[in-house]
Amino acid sequence: MITIQTRLTALLARIQSAAAAAGRAGVGIRLVAVSKTFPSEAIRQAIAAGVSDIGENYIQEARDKFEALQGTAVKWHFIGRLQTNKAKQAVRMFDLIHTLDSYKLALELDRCARRLHKIQPVLIQVNVAGEATKAGVAPEEALSLVRQAAALENIAVKGLMTMPPYFNAPERVRPFFAALRQLRDRIRHEEITNIGMEELSMGMTGDFEAAVAEGATLVRIGTAVFGERS
C-alpha cells in the first residue's frame, strides 16, 4: 500500500535531486502540501510524516480543516483566488497568502490585518503568460502593485507567485518560471522599503523540478503527497 509517508519520502528526494542538479543544494526550498479536497485526517498523516506547510484553495473548505487541526505545528498557505469579502477569514487563518493581485485586495487585507493586530505576509500573484482564465497581475504592472503595497503598514510582501500554462512537458513551462525569477530580480533591484523579495512560489506536481531549476523557494504540490483526487 502506498502511504502519504511513502509518497512524501520519494517527493522530498526528487526535490533534493532537482536542487542539486541546479546547484542549489542546501538552499531552502519549502514544500507546500496542497490538501484541496482531502480530509483533515489526511493532513494529520502528512504532518506526522514531516509536512510543515499546508496549502488550501478555498476559504470555506480551509476553515473547517483549520478548526479541526487547531494546535498542530503547521503553517497555512492560501493559494486560491481570493475575493475581498473573504479577506477577513483569510487573514485570520493563513500564515502566507500567495494570491494578492490587486490594490483593492491589498487595501482590504491591510484593513483586516490591522483590526487583528497582525502583519499579514503576502505574495504578489503574477499572470506571466497573460492567460484570460487565470488571476494575477500582468508582469508589467507588478512593480506598481508592489510599490502600492509597500505603503500599507499591515501587509508584508515577501515575493512573487505564478501559475504558468499547463503543458505535458515540464521544459516547456520552464521559461515562465524563468520570467518570474527575472521579474523578482528586477523588483529586488529597486530596493523598495518594506518589501522583501525572498520567495518565489511556483511549481506543482508535474513541473516542480523545472521550477526548482529556476529558483523556486515554495513548491505547491498535492497529488505527489496525497495521491490522486477523486
pLDDT tens for 21-51 read: 999 987 789 999 999 999 999 999 999 999 9
pLDDT of residue 1: 79
pLDDT of residue 96: 98
d(CA 190, CA 49): 40
Q: Say whether 122 sits in a helix, a strand or coil.
A: strand
The per-residue pLDDT of the chain, averaged, comes to 95
Q: Are 15 and 29 in contact (CB under 8 A)?
A: yes
Cell of 190: 529597486
- pLDDT exceeds 90 at position 62: yes
Per-residue pLDDT at 167 exceeds 80: no
- Of 95, 88, 151, 104, the C-alpha closest to 123 is 95
- Under 8 Å between Cβ of 225 and 5: no
Mean pLDDT of 136-151: 97
Q: What pLDDT score was predicted for residue 222?
A: 96
pLDDT at 25: 81
Q: How far is CA 180 from the centre of its chain?
A: 13
Short-list 33, 20, 50, 4, CA closest to 205: 33
pLDDT tens column, 104-141: 999 999 999 999 999 999 999 999 987 888 899 999 99
When pLDDT is averaged across residues 160-182 and rounded to a whole number, the result is 90
Find out whether 226 and 40 touch, Cβ atoms under 8 Å: no
pLDDT score recorded for residue 170:
75
- pLDDT of 191: 95
Percent of the chain at pLDDT exceeding 90: 88
**Does the predicted model carry a pTM greater than 0.85?**
yes
- The dihedral formed by the CA atoms of 21, 27, 28 and 30, expressed in degrees to the nearest 10: 0
